[in-house]
Each structure stands twice: as structure tokens, then as C-alpha cells.
Structure 1
Amino acid sequence: MSEITMTSAAAATYSDVTALRASDPQAIDRAWATRVTRDTIRGNGRLMIVAADHPARGALSVGGNATAMNSRTELLDRLRTALANPGVDGVLASSEILDDLVLLGALEDKVVFSSMNRGGLAGASFEFDDRMTGATAASTAKARMNGAKMLTRIALDDPGTLATMTACAQAIDELAAHQLIAMVEPFLSSRIDGKVTNDLSADAVIKSIHIAQGLGSTSAYTWMKLPVVAEMERVMDATTLPTLLLGGDPQTAPEETYASWAQALEIPAVRGLIVGRTLLYPPDGNVEAAVGTAVDMVR
């Protein structure tokens, strides 16, 4: 699949995107200004969001394939296939991906979340000092998006955590001032054999929720983005904030992954899914079928 043609597009092909970036960069602002937006909540209030902000943090692997996300055009193909499903409400991505998608007309009537902190590069010595190197509240508001997401990894033995928490608290306040959603993705994390690892035990996720939901001077616009772990009923009892479940890098068979999602989606406080690599890079390569399975669960 390549060079998919979309309606209401400033660019029909990826070559067009590059040409516009070179000769008419203002086309990006025009595309955002004229895009048909939508409210975050619609119908039954449940959301199906695809995510693609991993590459901006240097995380290009899917499962055992370290270079799976190397190709930008292939990633865009997969995203556009997912977004073409009317049951997919929208997308979370870094700024350059969102700019490509808006030029291609793929974000019409879709929920859009920007990605704020990509400074904690995968494998870096400063990975826990995850500063705001991506979107800002101001840029998110200017483009009339629905909100922004921030990764909030908490390592009790790494001083970079405090800088990350401070940046996230400020971003939450700035988004709230624009009445935009702050999607906070917390983890209790540590380095094991030199690699940053998230603690996915129920009690660790619960503790991370309590820390993250206390960031900022208001929680009025704060949502949670949480992993599916054991004892999700007990985990979700830790918050009253609207919550979307993340898919993460697939480590289990699709059937097992989907079953865990379906069970967690039965919890009333869970508002839907926000999934990236699991749906965009399924083992059988059939993005359309994987996205359709997730949409059926959410709907």
C-alpha cells in the first residue's frame, strides 16, 4: 500500500507533502486552520485512538524487530488505513507526523492529541529527564486539537524525574488554560541491567496514578493513559479521572492481548483504547483487521 489518496487534502502523495514543505510551508498552518474538527466525546463517549509518537523518542522497535518503524511512509500508510475506519476516533502523534497527516487530509472530523515530551530518548543516560521537546499547549490550541499527551515516568533513584514532573505539571496548567485535555501516561520505572523498565504490577501502577493525578494546579482537564495489567478493577479504583488504555509494544499473542483489553474495557471508568504498535504493526501485517477488532471492542 502506498500513496493513498484522501479527500479534502492539500497533498495527494508523499511527494506532494515534501514539495509543499519545501515551497509552501504555510500550507501546514492553512490545513490546520481549515480542518473539520470534532468534540472529544461523541455518541456513547468511548474513544478509539491510534498512537504514533514513538519514533520521536528514538523508539523504532516492534516486538523483536529493532527497525520496524524506520520507514516514515510505511508508518503513514498504516496510520491512514487505521484512520479510514469510521470507528477510529482519532490519533495521538508527534508534530511532524500530524503535519503530514493534516496535509494528506487524514484528520478531517477526527480527535487529535499532540505529543509533548520526547526528550527522554530510549536508551539515553538522561532518559528519565523527559523534557518538553515536542508540542506545546499553545501550538496544540492554535491547531484546534483536543489535547496533548505527556509521558511521566517516575524513577525514585533518578533526579531527572523531578525535572519531568515539574515540566508535566506546568504543561497540565498550560493546557487547562486553553481548556484542552492533558493526557498523562504515568509509570513507576527503574533501570534494570542498564535498561529503563516500567513496573507493571498493580500496586506500582496504582502508586504512579496517585502521583501523576496530583500534578498541576487543576485536574479539571486531566485524563489518564494507563497500561492493562493484572487486577485492573483495583487499579482503576485509584482514580476518578477519565482513562484510556494503552496497548504498548506487543509482547503476547494478539488473541491474548485482545482478551485483556476486552476485559478491562468492561470497567466503567475506562473510556476506550489508545493503541499504537499493536494495531499498526500486527504480526500478520493486516492493519485493517487488527484495527477492526479493536474498534469492535470499544463500540
Structure 2
Amino acid sequence: MSEVATTTGPAGLHRLGSTPTCSDYAEVTAVRAQHPAAIAEAWARRRRRSTVTGSDRLMIVAADHPARGALAVGSNPTAMSSRSDLLDRLRTALANPGVDGVLATSDILEDLLLLGALEDKVVFSSMNRGGLAGASFELDDRMTAATASWTIDAGLNGAKMLCRVDLSDPGTLNMMTACAAAIDELAAGGSIAMLEPFLSSRVDGKVRNDLSPDAVIKSMHIIQGLGSTSAYTWLKLPVVDEMERVMDATTMPTLLLGGDPQTAPDETFASWGRALEIPSVRGLIVGRTLLYPSDDDVATAVDTAVNLVR
């Protein structure tokens, strides 16, 4: 990818303009081993962009599931196991000029950064990944990934928090307390807090999210009240029935999430298109549905989603 690189620095690190880039995954590993300070340098030099420009709608790809041990897509339990394959798919998505940016944990973001894929992109970190999929403590979803201070210092647009509320699980309070503190810290730095609320419960030992309209509305009211200020709060919501009534529950800018693809692609895209007609919906933030489509054609899936947003 670095055909236009002009100089070579430590550990095979090239310079594309002012930003260090690697040409392949072996170089990324070499930089991590031999010149780790290059990552902070790359964040400092990266060309940044405002969150909202142009059409005011956003198309964001998401890839923070692996840090929770959630590697499955549909019926394939190991779909996201290969980091090089995931990065290939993310780079294909980010190469589409209609894709505004990416949401991921720091390890993935820094791989993309070193590969030069984050220039002029909106970037969101992912914060609370402590609720490992299937763990007894899954709903005690503490902050174990990016911090608010790192998000601000690295020049990211904001950070995302998963906010699953189970009224029978005491871990929910730990999550809410941690998220409230992070919202305040992000707001103090002028960064967005992207909150993803659900009402959740255990069914046969597995955490399930209630996707009924009333449950989504209740989760929104609980979570959008976190923190001392909501000035920088956005929501990340599933597409459910009665989306007009759901969106009447908030004035927060909202992006729609895709989730694990369970329906036919045409049906999924049609539901997104209907929801995008609601004024307070500001775009899509989608991961597995676009990165692992049933026909494995990432470019076409991404292009279809971009056309819906634009």
C-alpha cells in the first residue's frame, strides 16, 4: 500500500507525506517490536477531520468485538479469528470514500494507523471490553480498553461504551458508574461519548438483549442520563420495530448499529433505509454485517450501505 512512500525510517517504517506508514503486516509487527514510539508519533501526525462535515451523516465501520472474545459471525464461530483478514476487510471498507471512519479497540486502530488507513477519517475508540462474552461477569463491563484521556490525547473524535442494563445483576452499577465518569472526562476534552444501551438479562445462562421497542426506549432513558453533561453524548442503537417511536425518546444524535447479520441482506438494508429517514438518525455504525457479508463481497456491501447514508 505504500507505493508513494518517499523515505524509509526505523524498522521499515515509511513516510507517506508526514505520517509514518507500513506497507504490510510484517512491517507493522517490526515497528511494534523495534520502534513502538512510532505509534504515538503517527497519532500526532495523522490528518484529522471533524466528526460532522458535508451531508452531516456518518458511515462508520466497527470492529471492537474481538476484544470481548466475540469472534463469531452468524454460524461461523471463528470468523474474526484472523487479524490479517479482519484488517484486509477494514482497509477495503475504509478505502471507500463514502466511509467516514472506524470504531475499534486500540490494537486494531493502531494497526490501521501504521498502515496509513486512518488519514482524514473519523476515529472512535472502544472503552469497556471487560464484559467478556460468556463470562460469569459479562455484565460487569468495566473499562479495560481505551481510556478517555488517551482518546483525547490521541486526537480521536470520541469513544464508545457498551451499556447493558440488567436489573438483576449488580455488575450493571459498576458499568454505569464507570461510564458516567468517562462521559464527564470525554466532555471535558470536547470528545464524543458514544453510548450503546440495551436492557439485558440471562436466558439459559446466556446474556440476551431485549430488542422490543419499549425495552430499547427504557434503556435509552437510563443511559442518556449518565454523566454531569450530555453535551457530547451520542447514542448507538439497534434498528427495531417502531423506530419513529423509539427515536422520539431522545434528542441525542444517533447512529444505527448493524449487529450480527441474522436476516437476508436485502431485508437488513431495507430496514436501515427506513430508519435513516428519521431526522435524528445521523448515520450507520456497522461491523460484521458489512465486513463479513454472506457472499464475502465486502466492497459491494459497504457501497450499498454508503448509498443508503448518502
Distance in 2, matches of 1:48 and 1:6, equals 27
Is structure 2 residue 70 aligned with structure 1 residue 59?
yes
Distance in 2, matches of 1:42 and 1:220, equals 18
Give the 3-state SS of the residue equivalent to 2:108 in structure 1: helix
Match of 2:13 in 1: none
Match of 1:212 in 2: 223
Distance in 2, matches of 1:5 and 1:79, equals 17
Distance in 2, matches of 1:283 and 1:79, equals 16
Match of 1:144 in 2: 155
Which residue of the other structure, out of 158, 161, 181, is the alignment partner of 2:169? 158
CA contact (8 A) 1:113 1:148 kept: yes
Deviation at 1:44, TM superposition (A): 1.3
CA deviations on 1:8-31 (whole Å, 9 max, x unpaired) are: 352110000000000000010111
Is structure 2 residue 115 aligned with structure 1 residue 95?
no
Distance in 2, matches of 1:111 and 1:10, equals 18
User: Where does 1:267-278 land on structure 2 (aligned, <5 Å)?
Assistant: 267-278=278-289
Which residue of the other structure, out of 245, 257, 264, is the alignment partner of 1:246? 257
Match of 2:33 in 1: 22
Distance in 1, matches of 2:2 and 2:298, equals 18
CA contact (8 A) 2:196 2:236 kept: yes
Match of 1:264 in 2: 275
Distance in 1, matches of 2:218 and 2:96, equals 36
Which residue of the other structure, out of 98, 120, 123, is the alignment partner of 2:131? 120
Give the total of aligned pairs: 296
Which residue of the other structure, out of 69, 83, 87, is the alignment partner of 2:80? 69
- Aligned letter for 1:29? A
Distance in 2, matches of 1:209 and 1:6, equals 47
TM-score by length of 2: 0.94
Match of 2:11 in 1: none
CA deviations on 1:114-147 (whole Å, 9 max, x unpaired) are: 0000000000000000000000111111110000
- Aligned letter for 2:268? T
Which residue of the other structure, out of 101, 108, 114, is the alignment partner of 2:119? 108
Distance in 2, matches of 1:168 and 1:141, equals 16
- Aligned letter for 1:96? D
Is structure 2 residue 184 aligned with structure 1 residue 190?
no
- Aligned letter for 1:143? A
Which residue of the other structure, out of 205, 219, 240, is the alignment partner of 1:229? 240
- Aligned letter for 1:223? W
Deviation at 1:6, TM superposition (A): 7.4
Give the 3-state SS of the residue equivalent to 2:125 in structure 1: strand
CA deviations on 1:173-206 (whole Å, 9 max, x unpaired) are: 0100101000000000000011100000000000
TM-score by length of 1: 0.98
CA contact (8 A) 1:6 1:104 kept: no
Distance in 1, matches of 2:77 and 2:2, equals 30
Distance in 2, matches of 1:5 and 1:290, equals 26
Give the 3-state SS of the residue equivalent to 2:59 in structure 1: strand
Distance in 2, matches of 1:250 and 1:167, equals 30
CA deviations on 1:224-277 (whole Å, 9 max, x unpaired) are: 000000000000000000000000000001011000000000000000000000
- Aligned letter for 2:239? V
